[in-house]
Structure 1
C-alpha cells in the first residue's frame, strides 16, 4: 500500500485530516489493499472493536463513504462546521467516540443546521471532591494536598492508611463529588472506590476489627473493588443505601443510585454479592445486573454487558440503547449543565455509542447533530437547548 494512503489513514484516526485529505481517502478506499489496512487499524482500537461486534465492517465502510458524499454536497457553504462534522463522523467509526442513531443511515442531509453558542465556558469534568469531617468542617480535596498520620490526598485519590479503629465507636466522614467531578478513595481496609459525578459516600476513617465493614452510598454512582474478607478476620463488607443493602465477601461491583432516577442499578463484575430490600433477597452472579424500581420496589435481574456499566470509570461514556433523555442526564452531571428539550419527542430517541469523557460538550453535540436525529442546539451560559 502506498505511503500516502497510510498517512491518510493515520490522520483519519488521529482527527488531523483536512477536507481535501478526506476526499483523497474516500478515493483510495476503493483500493482493496487500502481497505484492508483501514480495517486492520480499526480493529486495534478498543472502541471500534466494540463497534465491530455490533455492525458489519464492510457495510459500515460503505455507509461512511455514502455519508461523506452527502455531507460534502450539503456543507460546502459552511466549511468550518463541515470539518467539525467530518471529525464527528471520523470518531463515529474509528476514534475516541462513535454514536449511532436508529434512523441515521436512512435519513439524508436536509437543510443546513445551525447552532448558536454564546461564549461557552463549559468544560469536561475533572477530579474534584469535598471532604466533610465528623465535626462538620469541610476540606476541598481538589486544591489541598494533605498528608497526615492516617491519610493522604493528592488531588485525585484520598487514601487512608491500613489500620483498625482504636475505639469501639467509629469516626465517620463524608466525601461529596459535585456535578462536573470524579474522585477515588482508598478506605482503611484497602477497599478502593471510584466515585462518579454528583455522588456522596459516608464511611468510617477506620473500621472496627471483627465487625462488618459498612459504608453508606447516600446517592450517586460508585464502583467498589472490595478488599477480601480473608484479610480482615472474615468480616463482610456492606454498602447501605436508603432503599437497599449490598453485602459482599470480596468482590467488584458498581452501584448507580442517582436522586433523579427511578431505579437503582447494581452490577456485579466479579465475586458474589447479596442484595436485600424489604422482603426481597437475591444473590448476584458476575455479569448480572439488579435493577430496583423505587416506585413499586420490584427488582429485575438481567444479564448485562459489564463493560457498558463501568465504562465511566475508564473515562468513557457508553450508551447502549439509551434514550437522549437518559444521555442528557449523564452529560448534565459531568459537564455541570442543564439540557432542555424544545421538542419533547426528542427525549425518546435511542442511541448506541461510546464517547470519551474528555470531549468538549460542543464536540458531543455536533456528533449528535451529525446523526440527523436533532436539527440543532443552542448554548446559553450553562443551558443547552436541543432543537
Structure 2
C-alpha cells in the first residue's frame, strides 16, 4: 500500500464507511509503519521514543479492540448522579442469570473500586431501544447497531454517528436511545439530523434514532453542548430538568445537573427561547439564561462564553466561583468523593487549568491562595480551611 492509498483509506475509516476487509488492510499496513528518513534534530526528542508513540497512536486508531465477555470494564466506577437517572426502570435480561436487572445493578455488579485518581476520558454506555447496553469505550469501530431506519456507527476517532437511511413512516416506528456518561467520562455523538452533541461527565441524553413529526425533541440530564443542524420546518427542543430550550439551528450549552441549584443555558450563536411552565425568556449570543430549581423567573445575563464551554475544549475555567462549585466539577471529572471539614473561606476563585492535568496539580494551584487545603485519602478528598 502506498502512502497516498493509506491516507485515503484512513480518511474513509474516519467517516465510518470502511469495510471489514479495508480495516484489515489498515491493520496490516501498520506493521510496515516507519518514520521517514529525514534529518533528526535534538529538539525533536528521542527518535525511538517518538516512533513508538506514533506507532501506538496509529494502532489505537485502526486496530479493533479484542471482544470482551464483559460489557463494562472493571475500571468504571459507580457514578452516583448517573445512577439516579439509570435506576428509573430500564431493565435488561442477563445472559447468565434468568432475571431482570436494572442498569444500576449492572454497574454495581461490574464496577470495582479504583485507587489511582486519573483525569476523565471518552467513555459512555449506549442503551438501545430494546434495553440492550453497549459499552462504547470497549466496542469495536464500525457498525454498532441497526435500528429501523437508522444505522449507528462508531468512527475511528471514537465518535458515535447516527445515519438515517429514510424517515420512519409514523412516530410509532421511531426508536429511542440513551447515551450516558459516568463520572470521569465524556462523549461526542452526531444525531440523525446532523446535530452534534458533546456530553459532559455524569450526564445522559435520550433521543430518537430518527426524527419525525413537527419537532426534534431530546431529553438531557447533566451537561451538554449542542451544535444544532438547521431545519426551519422542524424546531429542535432540549428538555432539561423542567426547562425547555427551543431552537432552529444554533450553538448553545445546557447545564442541568441534579446537584446544582440552577439550570443554565448559554448561547454562543443564533437564538433560543427558554420556557418553564408559563415563563419564557429569549437569549442572544453571549447571554446566559438561568433559573433556580423550583424558581418562577429566568435571569438573563451576559457571560464569557469561552469559560462556559471550556470543559468541551479540555479546560477547567473558573470565573469568580466558590470552592463548593469547583469541587462539584472536580468530583464529576476525576470520579472522586468530596468531604468538607471546618469553616470554609468565602473567597471565590478564578483561572483556568487543563482538565487532563494530574489532580494534584489542580489542588496545589488552589492551595496557593492560602485559603483552602486538601487531604487525599484513596478516592476521597477532604476540603479544609
**What TM-score bracket applies, with the shorter chain setting the length?**
0.5 to 0.7
Determine if contact 2:124/2:135 at 8 Å carries over to the other structure: yes
The yes-or-no answer on 1:367 pairing with 2:346 is no
Which runs of 5 or more structure 2 residues have no equivalent in the other structure? 1-113
- 2:227 aligns with 225
- 1:161 alignment partner, SS class: strand
**1:122, 1:163 → 2: CA distance?**
43
Cα distance in 2 between the residues matched to 1:357 and 1:200: 20
Distance 2:131 2:115 in 1: 35
**Match for residue 191 of structure 2?**
187
Q: Greater relative contact order: 1 or 2 (C-alpha under 8 angstroms, separation 6 or more)? A: 1
Shifted more, 289-298 versus 135-144: the winner is 289-298
Shift of 1:272: 0.9
2:202 matched to which residue of 1?
198
1:324-335 equivalences in 2 (<5 Å):
324-335=323-334
Shift of 1:363: 1.1
Aligned residues: 263
Match of 1:295 in 2: 294
Asked whether the 8 Å contact 2:125–2:136 carries over to 1, the reply is: yes
Give me the TM-score of the superposition, normalised by structure 1.
Answer: 0.65
Checking the alignment, whether the CA contact within 8 Å between 1:120 and 1:379 is kept in structure 2 is no
Residue 164 of structure 1 deviates from its aligned partner by: 4.2
Judge conservation of contact 1:163–1:189 (CA < 8 Å) in 2.
no
Report what 2:261 is aligned to: 262
Which of 152, 155, 166 is the aligned partner of 2:168? Answer: 166
Greater mean alpha carbon deviation, residues 361-370 or residues 337-346: 337-346
Tell me if 1:151 matches 2:143: no
- In the TM superposition, residue 340 of structure 1 has moved relative to its aligned partner by 1.5
Residue 91 of structure 2: aligned partner: none
Contact kept? 2:141, 2:158, Cα under 8 Å = no
Query: Any idea what SS the aligned residue of 1:353 has?
Result: strand
SS in 2 for 1:345: coil
State the Cα distance separating 1:279 from its structure 2 match. Answer: 1.1
Larger Rg: 1
RMSD: 1.8
Q: Secondary structure at the residue paired with 1:372?
A: coil
Q: Between Structure 1 and Structure 2, which shows a larger proportion of helix residues?
A: 1
* Counterpart for residue 310 of structure 1: 309
Q: Aligned partners of 1:197, 1:368: CA distance in 2, in Å? A: 22
Aligned pairs for 1:1-387 within 5 A: 121-148=116-143, 150-154=151-155, 156-168=158-170, 169=172, 170-208=174-212, 211-217=214-220, 219-229=221-231, 234-346=233-345, 348-374=346-372, 376-387=373-384
Q: Aligned partners of 1:176, 1:164: CA distance in 2, in Å?
A: 26
- Work out whether residues 246 and 275 of structure 1, in 8 Å CA contact, stay in contact via their aligned partners in 2: yes
C-alpha contact (below 8 Å) 1:268/1:287 kept by paired residues: yes
Structure 1 164/235 Cα, relative in aligned 2: closer, same or farther at 3 Å? farther
Instruction: Tell me if the contact between 1:164 and 1:207 (Cα under 8 Å) persists in the aligned partners.
Output: no
Check whether the contact 1:262–1:295 (CA below 8 A) recurs between aligned residues: no
Q: TM-score, normalised by structure 2?
A: 0.66
Cα distance in structure 1, aligned partners of 2:161 and 2:266: 25
What is the alpha-carbon distance in structure 1 between the residues aligned to residue 208 and residue 224 of structure 2? 17
Measure, in 2, the Cα distance between the counterparts of 1:295 and 1:166.
37
Q: Which runs of 4+ in 1 moved over 4 A?
A: none
C-alpha displacement at 1:291, in angstroms? 0.5
